[in-house]
Amino acid sequence: MGVEKNSIDMILRRRGFTCTSKNPRENLIFPKGFSKKSEDYYYRLLKKYSFRLFLRDLIKFRDSFEAKDLSKYCSLQTSTKYIRTMEKDGIIKRIKGGKFKLALEEVKSFGDTFEWVVAKIFEREFGCPAAWNLTLKEARSGGDFDVIAFMEGNLVYLELKSSPPKHVEQKEVSAFFERVFALKPDLAIFLEDTHLRMKDKIVVLFETALQERFGKSSLKKFPVRRLVKELFAVGERLYIINSHRDIVSNIGFCLKSFLQRDREDFWE
């Protein structure tokens, strides 16, 4: 079997990077032997913000919970339905007192599963090769790259945050810049999985990171500008977005905006 020239490994190798690991499944919510049909079902659910919030709470209470513990962002009826389905699929299991626990003890956070679904969005919604949780040998920045995709000859890097904006710290945004400068993607996206405002916290962190790297005058040269609602950009290749109204449309907005940048054709 020949090597796929546009596989993520080959794309990165042509750019001087060796991918030593990617797409780890041990920290996903799916048990071993999970069928593709079941994955497809949860992929559709995971595109919904309400289900992602439900799943975060489930992982938070992973050792013992019942339906009412997970009904903060959905009805008790919906929570009960999700629990029944997830028990049937082996994601959770019943314990004493009519309660449940997460089946896989390795799963400590929602982060890996969120990376998985965003990579799948690139593959299924936009037809782009993608991988999640990548380790690159030559990247001096350290840390893993959450999602890397390849779109129309362009390398796309996404940093994902599945916790609320109040839990994102300055060092995390600064580390994102380190990875951007190490990888030098054609397009970089910082995605915060929230429906909350980005201007109050996340944009401020980016402005501080820009000043740290380029000096106090950097905001004149590289302003963080609002594109629409809570979607922002720095220059023409770095986007800062949330997941309101949904992830697919917001990522699609970034891809469209990037591909149409700096065009001076007669149809504009």
Determine, yes or no, domain membership for 3.
no
CATH, residue 143: 3.40.1350.10
Number of domains in the chain: 2
User: pLDDT of 202-216, one tens digit each?
Assistant: 999 999 999 999 998
Band of pLDDT at residue 73, cut at 50, 70 and 90: very high
- Final residue of a structural domain among 83, 102, 121: 102
CA distances from 31 to 67, 105, 108, 118, 126 (A): 21, 11, 14, 19, 27
Domain co-membership, 95 together with 228: no
Indicate whether 3 pLDDT > 60: no
pTM for the complete prediction?
0.94
Q: What is the mean pLDDT of residues 120-143?
A: 94
What distance in Å separates the CA atoms of residue 74 and residue 68, rounded to the nearest whole number? 10
Per-chain mean pLDDT for the chain: 94
Q: What is the mean pLDDT of residues 12-22?
A: 96
* pLDDT at res. 4: 62
Domain co-membership, 67 together with 150: no
Q: What is the mean pLDDT of residues 54-70?
A: 98
Indicate whether 264 pLDDT > 90: no
Q: What is the mean pLDDT of residues 185-190?
A: 98
